[in-house]
Amino acid sequence: MITIRHSQQIMTIATATFFAAVCFSSSAYTQSSEPTFSRDVAPIFQEKCQTCHNPEGIGPMPLMNYAQVKPFAALIKDRTTKGIMPPWHNDTTTGIQSFKNDASLSEAQITTIAQWVDEGAIEGNPADLPAPIKLSNGAAWQLSDQLGPPDVIIKSTPYNVVANGQDQWWTPNVRFEGMDKERWLRAAEFKPSYPLGKKVVHHGHAVLIPEGEKRQVALARYGVGKSWEMYPEGTGMRVPAKGTIAWNLHYFPVGIEGDNDVVEVGLWFYPEDRQPEFETAGEAMFRVDGLNGMARGQDIVIPPHGYQVITGTHVLQEPAIIHSYRPHLHMRGKVMTMEAIYPDGRTEVIQQVNKYNHNWQISYIYEDDVKPLLPKGTVLQFTSVFDNTVNNPINPDPNQWVVFGRRGVDEMSHAWVGITYINEEQYATAVGARRASQETLSLD
């Protein structure tokens, strides 16, 4: 009996241990399968959200910790599942899909956020939080972490910002005498003042008119969502020592006024003894409207509660490398497509932005291995679609006829394309290097 009881006791203990292990395992599995903010969501926010959503960023609320995020959980799920946030308007089914600055969420990240919200938006263990990321001060140069302080800083003349009213333009000319000789520009950053300028400067240009020359040098172009440009390795812009900066700054009142607002542009140059292989003009304007002898924008006439589609074509007179694409439409703009029609008749969609939103002027920067290499004679074709109906969420008034104009409530249609023209020898070398790289990848 003693032996039997002892055996039963062993069996009872073993059985209890087994069921406890099963229950513990099930509980652990359930816990690990439920997303938590600390372990699963915070890393996504660090990677994709906090650059804008921090106390000094342009996002409407900071999303730096659980206490800040929790009240907006349902809104965050809505915006991320609809693809509204983070702002990234590229058509994911057409054209190039490999970008150096891809801000979009992956399907897995979207699913994680949605599941986290659906299951109660729990915090989890704070010990699971990733280390905080380093964020730039609101008034700092974004490129300084990579390139150090700018070599030269140019400034606009002061502008008194009005609190209310229509779009405002500030177009001063400022003397440029920042260097003692011609240099090769590597990168440029357009920096509105902080905090006011970042709220009211919608977009702008700083164009250098060299002394005694006819050419213009577009040092920097800015739009909300695009503040800097760094040229590909071995590519630079030739900048003269002296000239005049023609500023074109678009201010949009937001209910705050301020005196003496100044915009700055930082310039980073290659070393004085280095001349890059390729000379670029930076972002070049390719118009979709007002071509074939028509006046600028004369073909933009969008009816009330209607749509319009216009197309513009440009023949490349030299081979070229495209390294970025930035559509520019206004509030009725919906789609802009960039296609290449090659000399042999082949047609290829390079990129399509099918969820355009005028509130963001995003420059899509291509990874090096997918940058279009275009032979001489290629036709770049741009197609714009305008939506003047109630289906357009940022349409201010679908009852109006809409024509060309500088204001946001009017329309424009052009693309800013980061393009570098090259000679035939450089083109052949670039094509050969691309093919060799692709063959190496295929072997791997």
**Close Cβ partners of 45 (under 8 Å, ≥ 6 residues apart):** 53, 63, 69
d(CA 271, CA 275): 8
Domain final position from 126, 150, 176: 126
Looking at the domain assignment, is residue 2 inside a domain? no
Same domain, 203 and 160: yes
Cβ atoms of 133 and 64 within 8 Å: the answer is: no
Domain final position from 222, 249, 275: 275
Looking at the domain assignment, is residue 104 inside a domain? yes
Same domain, 69 and 175: no
259-303: per-residue pLDDT in tens? 999 999 999 999 999 999 999 999 999 999 999 999 999 999 999
Looking at the domain assignment, is residue 72 inside a domain? yes
**Which three-class secondary structure state does DSSP give residue 72?**
helix
d(CA 53, CA 143): 19
Looking at the domain assignment, is residue 172 inside a domain? yes
How many CB atoms are closer than 10 A to CB 85?
20
Same domain, 56 and 72: yes
How many CB atoms are closer than 10 A to CB 31?
12
Looking at the domain assignment, is residue 3 inside a domain? no
Same domain, 116 and 160: no
Strand partners, 366: 99
Same domain, 293 and 441: yes
* Token pair recorded at residue 212: 């005694």
Strand partners, 46: none
Looking at the domain assignment, is residue 18 inside a domain? no
From 320, 359, 145, 438, select the one nearest 338 (Cα to Cα): 320
**Which three-class secondary structure state does DSSP give residue 155?**
strand
* Alpha-carbon torsion, ordered 429, 430, 433, 437, to 10 deg: -170
d(CA 211, CA 225): 32
Looking at the domain assignment, is residue 318 inside a domain? yes
How many CB atoms are closer than 10 A to CB 418?
25
Same domain, 293 and 247: no
Cβ atoms of 228 and 143 within 8 Å: the answer is: yes
Same domain, 298 and 371: yes
Looking at the domain assignment, is residue 194 inside a domain? yes
**What range does the domain containing 242 cover?**
142-275
How many CB atoms are closer than 10 A to CB 172?
13
Same domain, 238 and 308: no
Domain final position from 79, 102, 126: 126
Residues of the chain under the 50 pLDDT cut: 1-31
Strand partners, 65: none
Same domain, 321 and 266: no
| Residue at 229: amino acid letter | E
Say if strands 235-239 and 278-279 run parallel, antiparallel, or are unpaired: parallel
Phi, psi of 374 (to 5 degrees): -115, 130
Same domain, 359 and 271: no
d(CA 419, CA 324): 7
CATH of the domain at 152: 2.60.120.230
d(CA 284, CA 414): 10
How many CB atoms are closer than 10 A to CB 127?
7
- Look at the chain and report how many structural domains it folds into: 3
Same domain, 425 and 324: yes
Q: How many residues does the chain have?
A: 444
> Can you list the alpha helix ranges (DSSP code H) found in 306-423?
none
**Which three-class secondary structure state does DSSP give residue 198?**
helix
Backbone torsion region of residue 95, taken as left when φ is above 0, otherwise alpha when ψ lies between -120 and 50, otherwise beta: left
Which segments of 21-127 are extended strands (E)? Answer: 90-95
* Token pair recorded at residue 310: 């216009």
How many CB atoms are closer than 10 A to CB 269?
19
d(CA 108, CA 382): 33
Same domain, 116 and 247: no
d(CA 134, CA 151): 23
d(CA 368, CA 199): 33
pLDDT at 437: 86
pLDDT at 440: 77
231-246: per-residue pLDDT in tens? 999 999 999 999 999 9
